[in-house]
Every structure is written in structure tokens, then in C-alpha cells.
């Protein structure tokens, strides 16, 4: 008999997931990070805090999100049953709000009047601006100048919600640069500002606490699958940018050895072209944004520019827990190209009447390959992390239209 591995012993007290994770931050932030660890350590076990979080998820976000059996899609793909975890139906249209609700409660508890956030696709920015509006907090969102351009709709949503959106023109003008700028803001305004990181990256305790807030996705999925199909899923598929929607689905099932786990990275124009955002598939470990993790960098250790059709996956790093799950062999990380993702976007829209975000479309494109391999009688769950409204402009432009 092989011994059952326990995947719930990470991170350790210093935020390490094996060799990954940790807290590689500048000294000015260390105190704030320690305070946040201490605060979260208390809140995690505080029934009042957890009840407040659950209440907000139910009545403000609209949870539980449905688990939907995509019958026509399953038939088209000819193999495993495809089930969609409908995070796109959450308030603001993506999984991102689960985390911002949790972190906003933390900010409220410590009485911070100002929140900042980084955003790529704008979904985390919108989710942050939303909770800030609800709590009456000032909100500043950093966004790469190129992303401001390709996610115009979300930029305007944030402004309507009362947030200030700061376009970041340094570096590659995308998500990683937005994160640098948010860190700089935090270093400068650490006394009155709470930094809401939008994914399972950053220095400890962020990868852990964002994971915990997102883990509701997997907990619901287990319950719903049991109720609707009387079984566990056989496979889970989610797209991986920083990795928050993926870990949110995966975490609940890590100790279930019959559940196969697949994270899908952005293959851009193809891994062989170098024009992609797939550090787990094609990178090596290094240190960026406060943690050790797989990165895309050159021989000098300079972080490389990434390419993906989807702004939310356009990031050269990844959450450290994914790096650890890869090293442990518990999850497999694969990639699909821009073109495959675009085709999946169109296919889901036409087949099920559900328009996914371009990030999410990456998970679908891989599920399309996996379903026939798994075969009839198996069940796979795709995390439908967000809806595609924000991407309609991008798709229209590809179709040669200006709307």
C-alpha cells in the first residue's frame, strides 16, 4: 500500500511551499506583512469573521455559484461529462470577488481607510473597487498601460465605482509592472493603506490567505458534485495566471488521489516562440514580487516580457503553491495557444450560450483535448472563472470590427 500524501501541511510558518514561497520583501514592508499574518491567523479561527465572510459571499456575491452540466458541449467533445463551475455568475463577473470580500474585511478590521490593488484584465480591479465602494474606502488601482488599452470596459467600470485607475508605463506595461507600482505605493503609504493582492502570489501571507478565500470554489464543487452526480469529479481543469481561481478549485481535492488536476497556462503564440506566459511549463525558479516560484527570466535573471491574448494570464510568475504542486507531481501544468483559446471562447458561446473570459477560455481549450482522452463515464470540472463581456472589444477587433 502506498502512503497517502497530505497536501495540507503547507505553507510553513514562514510561508514556504517546499523551496517556493517565502517573504522576499523590502524591509519597510516586513512589519506590515508580519501584522497581516498575525491578523489573519486570528481571523481565520474567529467564528464571527468567518460568519461575516460567508454572509457576504451568500448575499452580496450570490454564492453558491451553480455547478452546471454542459450537456451539448460534452456531446460535441465526445468523452467525459463536462461540468462548469459558474464563477462567471458571481457579482462583478469573476472569481476575483471572493478574495476581495475577504481582504476587505481584513482591511476593515484594522481600520485602514485606503486600499490599493494591481490588476491585469481589470477583474480584480473592479472587484476591489466594488468592495471599496461598499465600505466607503478610497481605492487606487494600478494597471499596465497596455492593459488599460485592451480592457477599456473594466477601466471605466472602476472609475464609475469611484476608484482611481493609474496606468503604469514602466517596464512591459502589463500586470507585473502594475504589481511593482502597487508595491511602491504600499511602501510609501504603509501606515494607512491595505494592499489587496489579486492572486495567490506576493510575499507571505498573501498566497495562503488568497487561497483560503478562494477555496470556497472547491468546497462547493465537492458538495454540488455529490448532490448532482453522487460522485467525486475525475478531473479538474482551471486556467493559471497567478493561479487564484485554479487553487480555489484544486485545494479542496488535493488529498483525493482519484481526482486528476490540470492547470492551464497561456501558451500565447506557442511555447517554442518564446511569446507566451507559461512559467510552469517553460520557466525555472527564481524570485519575483516577494516569493520564490517558477518564472520567465533570461540568463541574467531579468524578467522576460510575456505574451498572451488574455491580460489576466499575462504574467511571468505564478503562485508558489502551484510551483510546489508541480514539483510534487500532484498537479500537471499544460498550456494552450491564443488561437486554441479563441476557438474555445467561440465554441462555448455558441454551444452553451455562455460567453467566457479569454482567461477562462484557456481552461476550456485544454478540457476539449482532455475530455475524449478521459472517455465516457468520467466527469471533469472546468472552473468557469469569469465572463467574457470585458473581452468583447478584443474579439471584435480580431473580427475586423470596431465597436
Partner 1 sequence: MSRLQNTLAELKAAGRKALIPYITAGDPDLDTTLQLMHDLVAAGADIIELGVPFSDPMADGPTIQLAYERALLHNVGLRDVLALVERFRSHDNKTPVVLMGYMNPIEYMGYETFVSSSVQAGVDGVLVVDLPPEECETLTAMLHEQNLDTIFLLTPTTSDQRAAEICRHSSGYVYYVSIKGVTGANTLDVTDVKRHVDRLRRATDLPIAVGFGIKTADDAAAVSRVADGVIVGSALVNIIARSGQGDTAVEISSQVSALVSDMRKGMDAA
Ligand X SMILES: Cc1ncc(COP(=O)(O)O)c(C=O)c1O
- State the catalytic residues: 96, 118, 385
Shortest distance, position 359 Cβ to ligand X, whole Å: 3
**Interacting residue with partner 1 among 82, 158, 163, 303 (CB under 8 A):** 303
When binding is defined by CB under 8 A, the residue of 66, 162, 167, 171 that contacts partner 1 is 171
368 binds, among ligand X, partner 1, none (CB under 5 to 8 A by kind): none
Shortest separation between residue 66's beta carbon and ligand X, angstroms: 16
Closer CB to ligand X, 22 or 312, in the complex = 312
11 binds partner 1 (CB under 8 A): no
Decide: helix, strand or coil at residue 143. strand
Contact between 293 and partner 1 by CB under 8 A: the answer reads no
18, containing H or E segment: none
Sign of CA dihedral 25, 189, 214, 124: negative
**Is residue 378 a contact partner of residue 258, using CB atoms and an 8 Å limit?**
no
Cell of 353: 450560450
Phi, psi of 335 (to 5 degrees): -140, 155
Cα separation of 246 and 343, whole Å?
A: 21
132 versus 374: smaller Cβ distance to ligand X = 132
Q: How many angstroms separate the CA atoms of 374 and 257, rounded? A: 16
Q: Whole-angstrom Cα distance, residue 292 to residue 201?
A: 10
List the one residue from 74, 90, 100, 123 that touches ligand X (CB under 6 A).
123
Q: Nearest 5°: phi and psi at 143?
A: -145, 130
CB atoms within 10 A of CB 138: 15
Using the contact rule CB under 8 A, the part of the chain among 16-24, 43-51, 155-163, 390-398 near partner 1 is 16-24
Q: State in angstroms the smallest separation of the CB of 13 from partner 1.
A: 10
Q: Is 303 in the site for ligand X (CB under 6 A)?
A: no
The whole-angstrom separation of Cα 266 and Cα 279 is: 9
Q: Which three cell numbers stand for residue 157?
A: 467600470
Contact between 120 and ligand X by CB under 6 A: the answer reads yes
Q: Which of 18, 233, 243, 268: binder of ligand X (CB under 6 A)?
A: 243
Return the residue of 5, 30, 226, 258 that touches partner 1, per CB under 8 A. 30
How many residues touch ligand X under the rule CB under 6 A: the total is 21
257: phi then psi, degrees, rounded to nearest 5: -65, -20
Q: Are 233 and 244 in contact (CB under 8 A)?
A: no
Residues that bind ligand X (CB under 6 A): 94, 120-121, 123-124, 199, 239-246, 312-313, 357, 359-360, 385-386
Residues that bind partner 1 (CB under 8 A): 14, 22-32, 170-171, 176-177, 180, 183-184, 187-191, 284-290, 292, 295, 297, 299-303
Amino acid at each position: 500500500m502506498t502512503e497517502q500524501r497530505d497536501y495540507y501541511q503547507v505553507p510553513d510558518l514562514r510561508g514556504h511551499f517546499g523551496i517556493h514561497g517565502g517573504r522576499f520583501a523590502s524591509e519597510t514592508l516586513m512589519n506590515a506583512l508580519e501584522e497581516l499574518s498575525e491578523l489573519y491567523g486570528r481571523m481565520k479561527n474567529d467564528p464571527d469573521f468567518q460568519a461575516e465572510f460567508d454572509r457576504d459571499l451568500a448575499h452580496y456575491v450570490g454564492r453558491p455559484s451553480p455547478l452546471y452540466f454542459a450537456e451539448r458541449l460534452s456531446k460535441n467533445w465526445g468523452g467525459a461529462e463536462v461540468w462548469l463551475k459558474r464563477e462567471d455568475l458571481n457579482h462583478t463577473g469573476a472569481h476575483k470577488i471572493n478574495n476581495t470580500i475577504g481582504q476587505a474585511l481584513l482591511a476593515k478590521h484594522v481600520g485602514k481607510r485606503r486600499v490599493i490593488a494591481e490588476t491585469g484584465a481589470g477583474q480584480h480591479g473592479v472587484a476591489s473597487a466594488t468592495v471599496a465602494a461598499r465600505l466607503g474606502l478610497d481605492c487606487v488601482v494600478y494597471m499596465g498601460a497596455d492593459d488599460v488599452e485592451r480592457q477599456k470596459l473594466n477601466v471605466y467600470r472602476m472609475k464609475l465605482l469611484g476608484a482611481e485607475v493609474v496606468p503604469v508605463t514602466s517596464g512591459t506595461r502589463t500586470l507585473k509592472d502594475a504589481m511593482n507600482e502597487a508595491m511602491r505605493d504600499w511602501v510609501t503609504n504603509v501606515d494607512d493603506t491595505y494592499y489587496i493582492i489579486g492572486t495567490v502570489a506576493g510575499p507571505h501571507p498573501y498566497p495562503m490567505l488568497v487561497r483560503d478565500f478562494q477555496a470556497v470554489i472547491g468546497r462547493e464543487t465537492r458538495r454540488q458534485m455529490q448532490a448532482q452526480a453522487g460522485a467525486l469529479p475525475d478531473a479538474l481543469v482551471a486556467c493559471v495566471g497567478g493561479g487564484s481561481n485554479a487553487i480555489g478549485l484544486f485545494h479542496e481535492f488535493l488529498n483525493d488521489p482519484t481526482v486528476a488536476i490540470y492547470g492551464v497556462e497561456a501558451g500565447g503564440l506557442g511555447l517554442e516562440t518564446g511569446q507566451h506566459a507559461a512559467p510552469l511549463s517553460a520557466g525555472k525558479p527564481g524570485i519575483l514580487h516577494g516569493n520564490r516560484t517558477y518564472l520567465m527570466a533570461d540568463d541574467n535573471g531579468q524578467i522576460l516580457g510575456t505574451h498572451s491574448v488574455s491580460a489576466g494570464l499575462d504574467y511571468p510568475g505564478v503562485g508558489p503553491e502551484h510551483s510546489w504542486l508541480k514539483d510534487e507531481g500532484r498537479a500537471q501544468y499544460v498550456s494552450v495557444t491564443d488561437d486554441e483559446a479563441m476557438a474555445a471562447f467561440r465554441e462555448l458561446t455558441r454551444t452553451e450560450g455562455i460567453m467566457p473570459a479569454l482567461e477562462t477560455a484557456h481552461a476550456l481549450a485544454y478540457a476539449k483535448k482532455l475530455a475524449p482522452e478521459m472517455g465516457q463515464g468520467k466527469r471533469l470540472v472546468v472552473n468557469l472563472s469569469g465572463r467574457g463581456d470585458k473581452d468583447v472589444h478584443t474579439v471584435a477587433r480580431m473580427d475586423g470590427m470596431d465597436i
